């Protein structure tokens, strides 16, 4: 990608969102700009530079102005004085966190119909239906660990951002709130069914039914003696793949088999291209073992419980052999600190390319709004300053 932008010059702000409006100039490189693209890039930059400090960061956040505690906000952690040098981070409750980080896509009530949902593919999950794709339990109902894994990792290759920068307490609040949305959706369906049949709802029976139908099963255990990666195992895995998987995923694993497929909601869906190495649930053996044996609920990907563990191991080794193990790092979001180089002298309005040559560039992972077949863009960011002005180039 041509480093076409630009530097946006401004006085370094005291905090996120502060400071005067940026003056923008372009260098001689060819640049195309779309409003939507810059919106996404802006969000990515905020994520990359750590705007809005992580709860887990070594450096404590600055003290907030004195105010009465808001409803749903936890008190300072025990043993930490709010009047001393150390300030305890407050913990937002589940609804507040969901409204801040999730509602734009998943909707305020978790129905998957937020204001951004129409721009996204795959579509945001409707939590009220209780259907989850990435599960590790035998009854295919997500455990807290399953939900937490998605909160922390996101779904690489999709618009589902990771929220691993949140503190553990807040991540648990989010998981608990998703659980409440699932139970609330089931309760609504049960009450509608009772009304249709003219039955009265017994609160105790309703609570027991909801508890039973939302309780995760036992976690699928991955055998420790699966075949090790090797030529023989990969060859056996390919033979099994051609018999059981190639119809959808294609003979070479490019996802070019049967294309006319839909999920449980009727939305078009496509088989995974294994050669790209992008897996929503992760590339590790435990996740692939679960995907093969349990399938992907709500999609045409079926469970394959008739496979023997050794066969699944061979199949995993073959699938992993189709892509580079380093691929996930190119599509998974990680919080990154961006360092701005101190320039010698005042920065000019148009910074020559040669001056940028000595500035370290940091790769930026871009989440697509729609699943794509083409390669991920090689987007990088550089920054320098002169003590008064900050310049950023993509």
DSSP state letters, 327-379: THHHHS----PPPPEEPSSPPPSS--HHHHTTSPPEEE----SB--SSPPP-E
Q: For residue 202, is it left (φ>0), alpha (ψ between -120 and 50) or beta?
A: beta
On whether residue 34 sits in a domain, the answer given is no
Q: Is residue 385 part of a domain?
A: no
Q: Looking at the predicted structure, is the pLDDT value of residue 36 above 50?
A: no
Cα distances from 41 to residues 33, 123, 185, 379, 394, in angstroms, run 11, 21, 35, 10, 9
* Residue 250 belongs to domain with CATH number: 1.10.760.10
Within this chain, do residues 160 and 235 fall inside the same structural domain, yes or no?
A: no
* Residue 247 and residue 304 in one domain: yes
Note whether residue 67 is domain-resident.
no
Within-domain flag for 85: no
98 with 214, same domain?
yes
State the pLDDT at residue 192.
96
Regarding whether 139 and 99 lie in a shared domain, the answer is yes
Are 159 and 120 within 8 A, CB to CB? yes
Question: Which of 304, 330, 356 represents a domain boundary (last residue)?
Answer: 330
Is 345 part of any domain?
no
Residue 382 located in a structural domain:
no
Residue 270 or residue 226, greater confidence? 226
Same domain, 96 and 207: yes
Rounded Cα distance, 171 and 167, in Å = 6
Is residue 129 located within the same domain as residue 154? yes
The answer to whether residue 78 sits within a structural domain is no
**Given a cut of 90, is residue 238 above it in pLDDT?**
yes
Whether residues 180 and 236 share a domain: the answer is no
Q: Say yes or no: 202 and 144 in one domain.
A: yes
176 and 107 belong to one structural domain: yes
Say yes or no to pLDDT of 3 above 60.
Answer: no
Q: What are phi and psi of 357, to 5 degrees?
A: -60, -25
Better pLDDT: 389 or 62: 389
* % helix, strand, coil for the chain, step of 5: 35, 10, 60
Domain end residue (candidates: 190, 218, 246): 218
Q: With respect to residue 392, please indicate whether it lies within any of the assigned structural domains.
A: no
- Render pLDDT for 112-129 as a digit per residue (tens, 0 to 9): 999 999 999 888 999 999
Clarify whether residues 188 and 253 are in a common domain: no
The count of domains in the chain is: 2
pLDDT band at residue 334 using 50, 70 and 90 as cut-offs = confident
Residue range(s) defining the domain that contains residue 178: 91-218
Tell the burial category of 317 from Cβ atoms under 10 Å away from its Cβ (0-12, 13-18, 19+). Answer: buried
Q: Does residue 188 sit in the same domain as residue 270? A: no
Whether residue 191 is found in the same domain as residue 258: no
Each as own residue / partner, the long-range contacts of residues 297-302 (CB below 8 Å, 24 or more positions apart, any chain) are 297/131, 297/132, 297/133, 297/135, 297/140, 298/131, 298/132, 298/133, 298/263, 298/264, 298/265, 299/133, 299/263, 299/264, 299/269, 300/248, 300/261, 300/262, 300/263, 300/269, 301/248
Residue where a domain terminates, one of 298, 330, 362:
330
Q: pLDDT tens digit string along 302-325?
A: 999 899 999 999 999 999 999 998
Q: Residue 135: which of 150, 121, 125 has the closest Cα?
A: 150
Percent of the chain residues past pLDDT 90, beyond the cut: 59
């Amino acid at each position: 990608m041509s480093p076409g932008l630009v530097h946006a010059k401004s006085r370094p702000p005291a905090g996120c969102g502060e400071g005067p409006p940026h003056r923008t100039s372009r260098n001689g490189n060819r640049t195309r700009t779309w409003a939507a693209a810059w919106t996404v890039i802006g969000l990515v930059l905020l994520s990359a530079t750590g705007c809005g400090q992580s709860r887990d960061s070594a450096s404590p956040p600055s003290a907030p102005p004195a105010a009465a505690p808001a409803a749903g906000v936890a008190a300072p952690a025990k043993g930490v004085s709010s009047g001393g040098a150390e300030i305890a981070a407050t913990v937002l409750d589940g609804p507040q966190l969901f409204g801040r980080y999730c509602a734009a896509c998943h909707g305020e009530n978790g129905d998957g119909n937020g204001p951004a949902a129409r721009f996204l593919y795959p579509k945001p999950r409707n939590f009220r239906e209780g259907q989850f794709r990435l599960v590790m339990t035998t009854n295919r109902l997500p455990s807290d660990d399953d939900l937490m894994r998605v909160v922390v990792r996101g779904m690489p290759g999709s618009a589902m951002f990771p929220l691993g920068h949140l503190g553990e307490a807040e991540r648990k609040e989010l998981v608990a709130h998703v659980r409440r949305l699932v139970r609330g959706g089931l309760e609504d369906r049960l009450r509608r069914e009772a009304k249709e049949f003219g039955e009265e709802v017994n609160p105790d029976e309703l609570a027991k039914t909801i508890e039973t139908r939302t309780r995760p099963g036992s976690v699928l255990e991955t055998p420790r003696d699966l075949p090790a990666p090797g030529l023989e195992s990969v060859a056996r895995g390919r033979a099994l793949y051609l018999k059981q998987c190639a119809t959808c995923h294609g003979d070479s694993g490019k996802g070019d088999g049967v294309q006319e497929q839909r999920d449980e909601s009727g939305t078009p869906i496509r088989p995974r291209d294994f050669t790209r190495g992008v897996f929503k649930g992760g590339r590790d053996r435990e996740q692939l073992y679960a995907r093969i044996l349990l399938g992907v609920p709500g999609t045409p990907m079926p469970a394959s419980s008739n496979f023997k563990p050794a066969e699944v191991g061979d199949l995993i080794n073959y699938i992993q052999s189709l892509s580079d193990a380093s691929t996930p790092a190119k599509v998974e979001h990680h919080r990154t600190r961006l360092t701005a180089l101190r320039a010698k002298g005042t920065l000019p309005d148009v910074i020559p390319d040669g001056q940028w040559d000595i500035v370290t560039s940091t790769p930026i992972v871009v989440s697509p709004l729609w699943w794509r077949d083409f390669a991920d863009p090689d987007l990088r960011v550089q920054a320098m300053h002169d003590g008064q002005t900050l310049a950023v180039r993509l």
